[in-house]
Amino acid sequence: MEFIFEILIELLLEIIVQILIGLGYGSIARAFKPEGSKNKLLGYLGIVLLSSILSLVFCLIFPSSYFPGISIIVNPIIVGLSMKYIGEWKSKKGASQTLIATFGGGALFAFIFSIIRFIIIYNEAFA
């Protein structure tokens, strides 16, 4: 039972960190985004780069995982939906919506984050 609890806590912590980082990214992106900018390709590239860097930092803090592969499937869906709802909530309040505050942006962030974490953990486990 304790083992299952530890797994759930780890998954929950990873998802919460990804959502909080996504919210922080949205704030930074809005500060540097010129009005009317519509270049989504650069925005997605920024999400991939930020997610990659933060995933490496997260691996330094939490170097192991019980089931690293499950986050590749579960986290993008949960983070994508969470960021979509956060983006809709911000839009209703009159704030401009950032690329990461969409399902695609949040899911991309979580997917890259989880893939890099999986690669690092998997390689260390069999090194």
CB 29 within 8 A of CB 43: yes
Crossing angle (nearest 10°) for helices 103-125 and 2-32: 130
Q: CA 25 to CA 20: how far, in whole Å?
A: 9
Q: How far is CA 60 from CA 28, 65, 120, in A?
A: 24, 12, 10
Domain coverage including residue 95 = 2-125
Higher pLDDT, 5 or 12: 12
The count of structural domains within the chain is 1
pLDDT per position as a tens digit, 6-65: 667 777 777 777 777 766 666 556 534 544 456 677 778 778 888 888 888 888 887 777
Q: With H, G, I as helix, E, B as strand and everything else as coil, classify residue 24.
A: helix
pTM of the model: 0.73
In this predicted model, what pLDDT tens digit does every residue of 14-27 receive, in sequence order?
777 777 776 666 65
